[in-house]
Amino acid sequence: MPLGFRKAIRDARNAPSTSGEAVRAPAPDRALVLGEVEMLGIGMFWATDAQGNLSFLSQRALSDLGRDSEDLIGQPLTQVFHDLDEEDGGPTQRSLAFKLKARSRLDEQIVAVPNGRGTTRWWRLNGRPLIDEAGAFQGYRGSAVDISSQYVYETQVARQSQVDELTGLANRRKLGERLTAMLAAFRVSRRSCALMMLDLDRFKQVNDTLGHPGGDELLRQVAQRLTAIVGTHGEVGRLGGDEFQVLLPDMDDRGTLGELASRIVQSISQPYQVNGRRAIIGTSVGIAIAPYDGVEADELTRSADMALYSAKETRGGTFCFFKSQLREAASKTAVLGERLRDAVDKGELNLAYQPLVDPVTHEVKCFEALLRWHDTDEGDISPAQFIPVAENDDMIIRIGEMALRQACLDALQWPPSIRVAVNVSAKQFVRPGFRKVVANALQSSGLPAGRLELEITESVFVGDLDTVDSVFRDLKKLGVRLSLDDFGTGYSSLGYLKHGHFDKIKIDQSFVRGCTENGGTNPAIIAAIVALAQALGMETVAEGVEAMDELNLVRERGANLVQGYIFSRAITQAEVLEQFAQGSSLFRPSGPPRHRAERITIFRKVGLIHEDHYYDVILRNLSKTGARITGLAGVPVGTDVVLDLGHGQLVVSKVVNATENSQGLQFETALIADGSGGFMTRHRISPYSLAEAGIPLAALGAGAFPLAKWRDAHKTMPRFIQLALSMPSH
C-alpha cells in the first residue's frame, strides 16, 4: 500500500477525541475508505498523467501482478494494459489506445495484464478523464477488477463455439459470421473477396480402410497443409466431414486464384503417413468471387458449391470457377443421368477405336477402345458429358464391364500382333472382384492376356495403397499389360512407378499441345518422361498429337507411339476390319504443318462493343489469343472493338481478318484456362463500377452484368450492319 494511504489510515486511528463532549463519530476519511475497500478485495485503483503514463497503481493491484511499482510507474498505460485478441474469443471493443487518445470514458474495458510470473491476468477497467478548473486535461483516474477466472471460462466457451475441435480451424459458424461481416463491409468499400469450397476425393474409402481414428488424423494433416499454403492470404476453415472452406479477402485475379487452387490440389494429393500406413487422397476446388458471383453470403456460398460440383463432375482433382451456366448445367445433369441409364439398358453405347501408331514406321501397334453414345433425340453426346455422370452414379461399373467384354471380342478379329487398350475407372479398379471380371472377359472371348492393356489413371492411387498394390499384383499374374494414362496431370505417382507394375506411360496431351511454342517447358517435360520410362523399361505414348511440328518433336524426343488426330480419329470396328482386310496396318500422318492455339467451338450469343454501340454476335470459336464471331457486316480489318463474353468479361480486341459476315479477333491480353477446359479473362469489370453508371447493384444478381443496356444510349449512327442471328443445329 502506498505511503500516502498508510499515513492517512494511521493518523485517522490515532486522532484524539474531544473529552467531555458527546460527539458524533467523525466522517470516515476518504483515503481510509479507499484503503479498506482495496484491502477487502473489492477493487483496485490506477491513475495516469496527462501524457498517458501510469502515475499510480494501488498496492492490491501490484500484489495481484507480482510487480514492483518502480517497474510500472512511468510506463505508457497501453504497455501495462494490453488489448484483447479477438481471435481468441475476446469481446469486440474499441482499442484502449483509441479511447485514451479521444479522452473517452472507459466503461467495462477488458484488458490483458501480463504479470511478473510469466502468465497473464485479465482486468475490467473503468476510468474517467480528469479536467482541472482551468479546463486542462490532467490524466485518467480509474478502478479495476480482476475477472481472470470468468474471462478464461467465457472465452473458452466462445472459442469452442467457433473452432473445429478436430483440426483447430474455424468452424462453420465462425466462417459464416466472418463471410457475412466481410461482404457487408466490402460492399461499402467496394472491395472483392474470393471463396473456395473444397472436399476430399476418396476420403470415405480411406476412412473405411484405416478406421475413424485414422480418418481423423488424415483430416488434421489436410488442415495443416491447407493452412501452410494459404498462409496470411486468407482464412481456412472446416465445415464438417471432409469439407473445407477458404476465405480470401481482396482477391479477384482469377489467374492468381487458379494458381493457388492448383497448389492446393497438388499439395493435398501428396501421400500421407497415417498410423504407419501410406494413403493418398485428392481434392476438388470450387471458386466464387464477390461481388461478381454473389453479393450476399448465402448467394456466394451457393455459387462456390456449384463450381465445386462442376470440378468433381469434370474429373476430380481439379478446380472450377463459378459460371452462371452451371445453374442450367446442374439441372441438365440430372436429366442426362436418366437418359444414360436408359441407353445402357437398351445397349445404345458402342465402342470406337483410335490407333496408337509407331511415329517412324507409321504402323499401328494398338487400338484404344473409346465409348460413343448416339442418342436418337440429341444426336452424338460427348464422353466428356456422360462419363462424369456415370462416375457419380456408379453406372461406370456396369459400363466398364460391358466395354471390357466387347473390346476383347472385337480385338480377337484383328491381327495377333495388335493389342487393345481399355480404360478402367478408379471405382472399377478398386471394386472387389475386379480381377475376376478381367479374367472372365479374357476367357469368354479367347483373347490372349498379353494382348489386353488396361489404361489406369493416377486417380487409382487415391486411397489405401496396400489395397491398390494387391489389385496390381493380381492383374500382373493374369498376364495383362498395364498402362498409366494422363501421366503428370493428376495425383502424384512418380515414386509409385518404381514398383514396376506398368508397361506403358501415356504422356498427357496437355504437355503435347503447344509443345513447339517458343519458350515453353513442355519439350523438356516430354524428354524427361521418355527418359524416365526408358530407364524403367516402359513404352511411352504421346497423346493428342494434331500437327506435323508436334509429331516431329515427340518423335525426336523418343516417344515409342503416337496417338491423335494426326493419324486418325476413333473409327468403328467395321472400319478397322476393312483396313486390315485390305492388307494395311499403316496410318499416314495428315494434319496442319504447325500447331495452332487451342480453340473451342462455342456457338453462343455474346456482345461486341464499338464506340458507343453494343451489337449482338455469335461466338463461333475461342482460343486464349483470339476468337471468330459472326453476325455483323461491314467491319473493316484493323477495327478496335471490345468483346463482351458476359458476366463482366470484357476483352479488348482487334479485327485481324474479315469476310462478308464473320470476323477474326486478336486479343490484346490473352485469356487464361478456367480449370474445366474453357477460357476466361483474368479480371472482370466490377458490378460496383456498373452501379456507378446508374445500374443498381441489387438488380444485378449473381454474375448478371447487363452491359447490353448500352445499346439504349446511341449517340451516333452505328457503323456496322447488324445481321439476323441464327444458331446452328446440334
Return the pLDDT at 354: 96
Shortest CA distance to 269 belongs to which of 282, 285, 278? 282
Q: What is the dihedral of CA 613, 617, 620, 626, to 10 degrees?
A: 0
**Using CA atoms, how far apart are residues 614 and 706, in angstroms rounded to an integer?**
11
Distance separating the N- and C-terminal Cα atoms of the chain: 92
Return the H-helix or E-strand segment holding 550: helix 548-556
Contacts of 387 (CB under 8 A, 6+ apart): 371, 396
- What are the domain boundaries of the chain? 43-156, 164-323, 332-581, 599-722
- How far CA 116 is from CA of 24, 43, 119, 244, in Å, comes to 46, 20, 7, 41
Contacts of 708 (CB under 8 A, 6+ apart): 607, 614, 616
Return the pLDDT at 44: 86
Return the H-helix or E-strand segment holding 218: helix 203-230
User: Nearest 5°: phi and psi at 609?
Assistant: -110, 130
**Using CA atoms, how far apart are residues 594 and 468, in angstroms rounded to an integer?**
41
Candidate CATH numbers 2.60.120, 2.40.10, 3.30.2010, 3.90.1570; the one for domain 599-722: 2.40.10
**CATH code linked to domain 43-156:** 3.30.450.20
Return the pLDDT at 490: 52
User: Nearest 5°: phi and psi at 431?
Assistant: -70, 130
Return the pLDDT at 198: 95
- The Cβ of residue 591 has, within 10 Å, a number of other Cβ atoms equal to 17
- How far CA 189 is from CA of 182, 405, 705, in Å, comes to 10, 62, 20
Return the pLDDT at 36: 67
Q: What residue has cell string 492455339? A: 597
Fold topology of 164-323:
Alpha-Beta Plaits (3.30.70)
Instruction: Tally the residues of the chain.
Output: 730
Q: Which residues pair with 442 in a beta bridge?
A: none
Contact 550, 595 (CB under 8 A): yes
Return the pLDDT at 26: 52
Return the pLDDT at 6: 42
Return the pLDDT at 237: 94
**Using CA atoms, how far apart are residues 72 and 63, in angstroms rounded to an integer?**
12
DSSP 729: P
Contact 286, 229 (CB under 8 A): no
**Using CA atoms, how far apart are residues 608 and 651, in angstroms rounded to an integer?**
10
**Using CA atoms, how far apart are residues 227 and 177, in angstroms rounded to an integer?**
20
Q: Which residues pair with 237 in a beta bridge?
A: 170, 245
Q: How many C-alpha atoms does 637 have within 13 Å on its Cβ side? A: 6
**Using CA atoms, how far apart are residues 659 and 411, in angstroms rounded to an integer?**
48
- The Cβ of residue 86 has, within 10 Å, a number of other Cβ atoms equal to 10
Going by their DSSP bridges, the two strands 504-507 and 539-542 should be labelled as parallel
Q: What residue has cell string 505508457? A: 76
Three-state SS annotation for 443-456: HHHCCCHHHEEEEE
**Using CA atoms, how far apart are residues 173 and 180, in angstroms rounded to an integer?**
11
Is the domain defined by 332-581 classed in CATH 3.20.20.450?
yes
Q: How many C-alpha atoms does 607 have within 13 Å on its Cβ side? A: 19
Mean pLDDT for back-to-back runs of 10 residues, the chain (730 residues): 41 43 50 64 83 89 81 89 71 83 90 81 91 90 89 73 86 90 86 93 81 90 95 92 94 92 91 86 92 89 90 80 75 76 88 96 96 85 83 85 96 96 89 92 95 87 73 91 78 60 86 73 86 90 90 92 94 94 90 70 80 86 91 92 86 92 92 81 75 45 42 64 70
**Using CA atoms, how far apart are residues 704 and 712, in angstroms rounded to an integer?**
18
